[in-house]
Structure 1
Amino acid sequence: MSSALTDLFPHPIVQAPMAGGVSVPHLVAAVSEAGGLGFLAAGYKTADGMYQEIKQVRGLTGRPFGVNLFMPQPEYADPASVEVYANQLAGEAAWYETELGDPDSGRDDGYDAKLAVLLDNPVPVVSFHFGCPSREVLDSLARAGTLTLVTATTAEEALAVQRAGAAAVIAQGVEAGGHQGSHRDVPEADGSGVGLLSLLAQVRETVTIPIVAAGGIMRGGQIAAALAAGASAAQLGTAFLATPESGAHALHKQALTNPLFVRTELTRAFSGRPARGLVNRFLREHGPYAPAAYPQVHHLAAPLRKAAARAGDAQGMALWAGQGHRMARELSAGGLVEVLVDELDAAARALSRHAGGGAGR
């Protein structure tokens, strides 16, 4: 399905923006050079840090790429619950010989400053996570020549994205690794997310703008299924996390296929917002007690995550991963795009043969 978005890149493959140092410029450029759409993650960076990475990508490729922003979060967390969780994490801080972070380090992630940079120095695509921007913001980016995408986890959220004027919506199934991009963090909805194929069907019946499918996709055949279900492209994160170009910690990459980590789970343990990661000690011990408090818990636990990584302790790290993590492959980013395209083509040919055979009977 051709659209202004998919006309930017030859193959219907989008590399998911993975914050925390994973979506580095070399990964983004490699994916774009291979014919996909690479994405920088501006989350947890300063506006200048984001701009410097944009310049690096432009120095590595002349092809289109995107930048992802986190939406500012409303002030709804209970301070007392954050304090209780901080007391619970005190033992972790002592174990890793570090201090807990300041939970009040900010809720807006430098959103306005980053928007100003992107309006002054437009990039081809900008996406948003954790909410939907105003029509004014989306229109201003459109006037700058930027296509906009917004993550949605329900058909209702997708409709809000369309009404706000985004060029496309990212339909994120519950299988996806990392943070769920729900527009409102409702604790009573924990674990009730919709699977990708069901979500695609619902969103396709609700909106007319192009859809990018996200959630547990690791193979070209899955991309073909998403396209057949009405998506214009597929977004893959965990599959690219394992590539040598990604900035993920070596232990994180190894954990994807390590038999020690057998499953994933949605947890608030590391950030205060539901995010899917490999089940390790930290997630098991603290997940049941983590409050709905993002980004306060993220700031609080950040030094612990860094200390665990320095210590080489995967049991204390945030090992974000989608449900298809065991299917990760040791391929370069460009090589992965090529293999996915080959698998997609093979799946499309098989589907065509099946359809043709059915018509002849």
Structure 2
Amino acid sequence: MSSALTDLFPLPIVQAPMAGGVSVPPLAAAVSEAGGLGFLAAGYKTADGMYQEIKRLRGLTGRPFGVNLFVPQPEFAETGSLELYAHQLAGEAGWYETGLGDPDSGRDDGYDAKLAVLLDDPVPVASFHFGVPSPEALAALRRAGTVTLVSATTAEEALAVERAGADAVIVQGVEAGGHQGTHRDLPENDGAGIGLLALLAQVRETVRLPLVAAGGIMRGSQIAAVLAAGASAAQLGTAFLATPESGAAPAHKQALTNPLFTRTELTRAFSGRLARSLVNRFVREHGPYAPAAYPEVHHLTAPLRKAAAKADDPQGMALWAGQGHRMARDLPAGRLVEVLADELAAARTALSYYEEER
């Protein structure tokens, strides 16, 4: 990986930015202090809310960290399907004694205002999900001293990231928890996701940029595997979701290893965009009918998800989780980084011994 990024953190471990209140400053600080790269998630926050979290994080650590932004999405025109979905969710609203949210609560997530904050008061690293920032924005961030990373889920998307002028690609396999970072979320592509190792090989042969591997990584041995496959670092989300520093709801953390939740599924049920969640009642009942309408569905279901979390009811929550969720460990974030680093070193030692024996 380019020295612009590798010089920032000694261990090839990146804590994924998980929006919705999970990637809070104490989590990012703990990861950065342990030698990884901690991340804040600006998604669903106001520009000022993002700025206040950055200030708080800077008070907790002097180490480098990153901030993630959502790229604005194209307009959604099929209002009829959205109205039908709202009608279907009426029973949920009655059950949780709350109303549905306003689907027209905002489309761009305050993107321009957040970008202006990052240019006015630069952070070490900025990453982007759901698309590619303009070449002008990426160039401005570079001039400000910020290293830029952009998610890609195909080799073609990675090429677009390279052409726009980003410093590195986050290669997101279909195993990843939470939202897929596809640049164009088309229903006809549902089920076409690529596994991380296969995707790494394709992207490595397509672009010259450094790669950060993401998707289902829970152990140091898996980090070793993606490094051997051409990545320069690994990004882990679900592994850090279970830590005490994470801002995830207790019911969400417990569900990761609860035998009641046996598998994950890509669903549009909660946000209108494909995202990997533990399969609960909400996913089973509403996933097949949710339209491809992001962020409209996200706004629509927000009060339901909030009420379910308040009631400590995991059956109505968005239980974002990667395919390796059963391997989650209830360790402090800093200790988890240390354990992952030890596992990585052991895997590398074993590989070296094997090659010497050959």
- Give the AA of the match of 2:168: A
Matched with 1:314 is 314
Within a 5 Å distance, the mapping from 1:239-254 to structure 2 comes to 239-254=239-254
Aligned ranges 1:168-247 → 2 under 5 Å: 168-247=168-247
Partner of 1:338: 338
Q: CA deviation at 1:351?
A: 0.6
What is residue 80 of structure 1 aligned with on the other side? Answer: 80
Q: SS at 1:8's partner residue?
A: coil
Matched, 1:37 2:58: no
For 1:252-291, what aligned pairs fall within 5 Å after superposition? 252-291=252-291
User: 2:4 aligns to what SS in structure 1?
Assistant: coil
CA drift at 1:225:
0.3
Paired residues of 1:135 and 1:164 also in contact (CA < 8 A): yes
Q: How far off is 1:282 after superposition? A: 0.2
Tell me if the contact between 1:2 and 1:232 (Cα under 8 Å) persists in the aligned partners.
no
Structure 1 residue 77: Cα displacement:
4.0
After TM superposition, the structure 1 = structure 2 runs for residues 11-22 of structure 1, keeping only pairs within 5 Å, are: 11-22=11-22
The whole-number CA distance in structure 2 between the counterparts of 1:339 and 1:310 is: 33
Distance 2:189 2:132 in 1: 19
1:69, 1:127 within 8 Å by CA — same for their partners in 2?
Answer: yes
Q: Deviations over 1:80-125 (max 9, x none)?
A: 1111100000110011000000000111000000000000000000
2:97 partner amino acid: E
- Whole-Å Cα distance in 1 between the matches of residues 342 and 77 of structure 2? 47
1:216 partner SS: coil
Runs of 4+, deviation exceeding 2 Å: none
Distance (Å, rounded) in 2 between the aligned partners of 1:206 and 1:91: 48
Task: Please give the secondary structure, in 1, of the residue aligned with 2:7.
Answer: helix
**Cα distance in 2 between the residues matched to 1:127 and 1:107:** 19
Q: 1:224, 1:347 within 8 Å by CA — same for their partners in 2?
A: yes
Give the SS at the match of 1:4. helix
Counterpart position of 2:301 = 301
> Are 2:135 and 1:154 equivalent residues in the alignment?
no
Seq. identity, %: 82
User: Are 1:138 and 2:132 matched, yes or no?
Assistant: no
Gaps of 5+ in 1: none
Counterpart secondary structure, 1:151: strand
Q: CA deviation at 1:292?
A: 0.3
Bigger CA drift: 290-299 or 347-356?
Answer: 347-356
Give the Cα–Cα distance (whole angstroms) in 2 for the partners of residues 2 and 170 of structure 1. 14
Structure 1 partner of 2:8 = 8
Gaps of 5+ in 2: none
Distance 2:236 2:53 in 1: 21
Q: Distance in 1 between matches of 2:191 and 2:37?
A: 30
TM-score by length of structure 2 reads 0.99
Q: Compared with structure 1, are the counterparts of its residues 235 and 4 closer, same or farther at alpha carbon in structure 2 (3 Å cutoff)?
A: same
Secondary structure at 1:140 match in 2: helix
1:31-51 CA deviation, whole Å, 9 max, x = no partner?
A: 000000000000000000000
Q: 2: CA distance between counterparts of 1:162 and 1:90? A: 44
The amino acid of 1:28's aligned partner reads: A
Shift of 1:312: 1.1
Q: 2:190 corresponds to which letter in structure 1?
A: D
State the Cα distance separating 1:76 from its structure 2 match.
3.0
Using the size of structure 1 for normalisation, the TM-score is 0.98
Partners of 1:239 and 1:6 in 2: CA distance: 22
Deviations 1:161-181 (A, max 9, x none): 000000000000000000000
Aligned length: 358
CA distance in 2, matches of 1:50, 1:77: 30
Distance 1:5 1:209 in 2: 12
> What is the alpha-carbon distance in structure 2 between the residues aligned to residue 112 and residue 236 of structure 1?
27
Kindly state the Cα deviation for residue 3 of structure 1 after the two structures are TM-superposed: 2.9
C-alpha separation between the residues in 1 aligned to 2:21 and 2:318? 12
**Partner SS for 2:251:** helix
